[in-house]
Structure 1
Amino acid sequence: MKKVIGLGMVILTVLASPIHAAAPTPGSADDPVVTKSYLEQYVQGLGGSVGTGGGSNGLTESKIKEIIAQEIAKLPTNNGGGGTPSTGQGNAMKVVALKAGQTILADAGSELIVRNGKTLAVSNDDNGIPDVTAGKDLAAGTVVQNNHLLIFPRDGRGVKPDLKETADVYVMVRGGYVVQNADGSKVPQ
């Protein structure tokens, strides 16, 4: 029995040797893992070095920083003061007064809070408006509670003062919106 086990061990050793011999040595060109030293050797072989601009593209680190600075300068800035467009787009909430018969229609992604007065939800479809404060959807014609945050997932939804409301209704809006009169004409901003 001992001879059989010994013979089995010898056979396994002989069979396993080619598997180990076929494995690449770490750090060699045959190693599938790319190391930093391999990349540096490869870049040196191309005749350049990383980040110094010695390569064929001519981009130096300072040139890359200059290009990035130019692109950043092109981006619009929102410093929080005076730069908010009249459409209400931007980070700041804008206070809008609604007169009797007017409707405010919010753009997709806009937020609105009714500050005073009695208002009704307006929607051009059956999905309604999410009232995130109450955790429910407001169908068209539903009373909107004051100081509740409404988020508009699509265009064509908004709020309007109740027909019995005679005083101005104030709402706060973040995002795009349009105020319309009862006849459908737009109120200039």
Structure 2
Amino acid sequence: MNNKLIIGLITAIILITQVDTSQAEAPTPGSSTDPVITKSYFDQNTLSEAKVKELVASAIAANAGGGQPSGSNGGTGTSTPVTMKVVQLQNGQTLYAGAGAEFIVRTGRVLAVSNDENGIPDVTGGKDLPAGTEVALNHLLIFPAEGRGIKSSPKNTADIFVMVRGSYLLLNADGSKAAQ
């Protein structure tokens, strides 16, 4: 009996010690780990939904005219618009991107073009497209450097429309600049 009593007392002491330490670890209200603030302080230092909308609207308005001036686009001869522009690509034409431009092919069949061994980042597909690869429709392509773009595929039978953000150059098959 003595052994059972001793084991019971030791178990009780361990349980009481664990309960006390778990209560001791809880932060004390008003301490540096659990500060108390007033409602007015909270109201003054938080953003309301209306204030967020106001800040977003003013930021959009500040950037409304926001393209780069002509000539600051690496020599492609077009300005860099903030919004997307729809460009129609004819069979035989090549659409070259300026550095930082973005393309989304909406219709038609096009191939990736690159003047070096580096491909074009297909953000939607999560891979680089080497030159000659067919570009999937509705995939976002980002062009980190000039000298890359897309051209109509010899297999294309549909109209090609591309959404473009950034500077670009549209060339005919003979290398002349295409009228837009």
Under TM normalisation by the shorter chain, which class is it?
0.5 to 0.7
Provide the residue aligned with 1:156 in structure 2. Answer: 147
Does residue 183 of the first structure (1) align with residue 174 of the second (2)? yes
Q: How do 1:123-138 residues align onto structure 2 when only pairs under 5 Å count?
A: 123-138=114-129
In the alignment, the residues of structure 2 paired with residue 112 and residue 87 of structure 1 have an alpha-carbon distance, to the nearest angstrom, of 15
Q: Which moved more, 1:165-174 or 1:146-155?
A: 165-174
How many residues end up aligned between the 2 structures?
113
Q: Report SS of the residue matched to 2:170.
A: strand
Q: Is the 8 A contact 1:121 1:159 kept in 2?
A: yes
In the alignment, the residues of structure 1 paired with residue 88 and residue 79 of structure 2 have an alpha-carbon distance, to the nearest angstrom, of 13
The verdict on how the C-alpha distance between 1:88 and 1:163 changes in structure 2, with shifts beyond 3 A counting, is: farther
In the alignment, the residues of structure 1 paired with residue 140 and residue 79 of structure 2 have an alpha-carbon distance, to the nearest angstrom, of 16
Aligned CA-pair RMSD: 2.5
- 1:79 aligned to which of 49, 55, 64: 64
Task: In structure 2, give the amino acid aligned to 1:187.
Answer: A
Q: How do 1:22-171 residues align onto structure 2 when only pairs under 5 Å count?
A: 79=64, 87=78, 89-171=80-162
Q: Report SS of the residue matched to 2:112.
A: strand
In the alignment, the residues of structure 2 paired with residue 80 and residue 155 of structure 1 have an alpha-carbon distance, to the nearest angstrom, of 24
In the alignment, the residues of structure 1 paired with residue 94 and residue 79 of structure 2 have an alpha-carbon distance, to the nearest angstrom, of 15
Q: Is the 8 A contact 1:88 1:173 kept in 2?
A: no
TM-score after normalising by structure 1: 0.55
Gaps in structure 2 of 5+ consecutive residues: 1-61, 71-76
Q: Is the 8 A contact 2:109 2:158 kept in 1?
A: no
Q: Is the 8 A contact 2:108 2:157 kept in 1?
A: no
Q: Report SS of the residue matched to 1:165.
A: coil
In the alignment, the residues of structure 2 paired with residue 166 and residue 174 of structure 1 have an alpha-carbon distance, to the nearest angstrom, of 25
Larger of the two Rg values belongs to structure: 1
How far 1:78 sits from its partner (Å)?
Answer: 5.0
The verdict on how the C-alpha distance between 1:80 and 1:167 changes in structure 2, with shifts beyond 3 A counting, is: farther
How far 1:182 sits from its partner (Å)?
Answer: 0.6
Task: In structure 2, give the amino acid aligned to 1:111.
Answer: E
Give the % identical residues.
62
TM-score after normalising by structure 2: 0.57
In the alignment, the residues of structure 2 paired with residue 161 and residue 91 of structure 1 have an alpha-carbon distance, to the nearest angstrom, of 25
